[in-house]
Structure 1
Amino acid sequence: MDNLLPKIKTIHIMLQEMGEQQEAVFRMAFKMHNTTNYEIVTPDSAVKPDLVLVDTDTEQGMRTWGASKAAYPDVPVAMFSSSEPSVTTPYLPKPIKFDSLFPVLRSLSQGGNVFDASASRERSAVVDASSNLDGARKATIHRFNPQKGVLGALKFASQGHQDIAILHEGKPVLIVFPNIQRVLLTVSATELEKLCKDDNLAVVCKVVPDNPQWKEKAKVTIMSCLWQMAIWTAQGRLIYPMTPQTVFTLKRWPNLTRLAHVPESMRLSAFLTKTSVNLNILYKVMPLEMPDILNYLAATSVTGFLATDAEYAVDQKAADVSEKVKVDGTVDTPMAKEAEKIAGPSAEQPRGLLQRLMRKLIGKK
């Protein structure tokens, strides 16, 4: 949230159980990245790693991962794997996604991007995405109400002109200063995340007197706070009252360097600034994970970046927020065909230089 964590100019990464080709991909990516200096270190290096990245797709890789955790107890030891871990651990999924690689690496080195195995099991009971015989994907998803809880209270407080404290059980969670577009966090980010995930949380908004000292301590922008809290609240659910048929597009590109990371956010932003789609079409043309798409839609909707059609403006009392809705990726309409054209690389829209180099390096066309 608004870069609360300290910035790291140089990140030392130890690569374990990587083949020559895989390691070459990382080295090439590090050389072409000019925002942060990434250096690869070995177990023999005098420099302590900031992050250990272990390829765990083999039994030896799993053993090395366990040994690395013991050897570097104070350093994040992340799994680099083509399948989700069976344990809670820092995690970088295969294949490498170049638009999100460096934000994820930075997050991993700072102790973030932890895959929660228990949450994954719970989510899999709700989101049931599968492929049918013709290759189209389908999913059943839940929705959430952004007007409730801490997120709803923050939205309400940010739209006024008075300084407002958001209270839970009589204690302040946030103090919102709309006139300077800042928020003062009075609890830890961990505690705030926990509160956001409680769909039945009771909060109270209370006007507070002007306090220059509080305002001076308020370093987080309302925008970044809304963005992060929308992700925490969504938890891979569709923001109400959107449906799989709601048509949406992006009004403008979010400044992703100042906002919490959402997987594939660069790719989604680039796509949605070019075309309008609904969730059915987006899920059909872009091979992304549904929770990542839904978290991105929640973040961009709450912060005002997402524009939707008239279907979005339905009576909020007319439907059940908790109902399941189905996403069907079998649509075949002019909108879908246009979206496929934009989503897929072509002569008119070639892949970026880094992506083309990486694909050649790993033997793909």
Structure 2
Amino acid sequence: MLEQDADVTISIIELSSTDYSVLKVAVTLLERNRLKVRLLEKGNTAGTLVLIDFDTPSGKDFYTHFNYARHRAMLLLSTETLNDHRNLVLKKPLRVQTLKDVLYDLYLGLNPQLKTVQLSKQPEVETSHLPSNPFNPQNNLFFVLFKALQAKSVIQVFCSPHSPLFVNTISGIIASSISNETLRKIISSQSYAFKSTKLSSADFEILAKGQVIVPLNQVLWNAALYGSQGQLIEGHSPEIPIQLKAWPNLSRLDFEPHHMKLASIMAGKALTLKQIHLKTNLPWETIVGFYNAAYATNLIVINPANLPTTPTSKSAPPVKASLLAKIANRLKIAS
């Protein structure tokens, strides 16, 4: 395939011969599924997706000076358990299946108009065989993760029949081979009963090998937003005033227009969730999901006393606040 015909071109920075061989197999599997990807020659760093061996000096240097302005993405490969909030991290050793799934997620991220493309062997999240369990916070992914975060625990979350999540709340990361698409479907399903068990930090480091490393806050945010099922965090009341103390980083978190509306209202004067429900007429599940997500990521103040009516410049830079306000006004959702 010619470079100009590819939807995604892949450059490499300092990959070992073994890692490069794994990459070539993964790319071949994507091509067999009619995805237009092209692996560029070594030395050509102009790809829309760049795989970087972060363990090498030249890899670290390229990462430091990388230009995101041209709608490009990076995938960091490392023996270390990195926590990078902007780029996906894959902990070595590389595995073909995991790398292929990560490349597929990145392919869709760079080409959102192609999200109807499906890998022929991509497993579907089948829930019809699972019982429709009554809501139990102990078995809900958001509440399992939030409880672990509060306890500063290291845990393994079972997502049968899919791969488990290895969660280190101390380092603020999750390691797993589950694709983003599968994880989204699991989160939004009401049929899964998530179970967990404690791990040691040493166990986590071993189990994280060959897995994708993602920030805990990103998964926690999505799990709350789409999986809270209208259930508030234990001990929280819909009748106590709350206020958003900083805008969520919506450039790195999933959101929909109604979440922008909620952020705009919650960043104003303090209101109870019941008042917000009446003011917005949004579904209760949507309001609770956003509240849980914002609280779990340390963006909410409960019963604020002497807070300003809008987030301070320290919490949200004026430029970003102005930009988000413009977006909100354009969507006609400002309070």
Give the alignment's TM-score, normalised by structure 2.
Answer: 0.45
Give the alignment's TM-score, normalised by structure 1.
Answer: 0.42
Which structure is higher in RCO with an 8 Å CA cutoff and minimum separation 6?
1
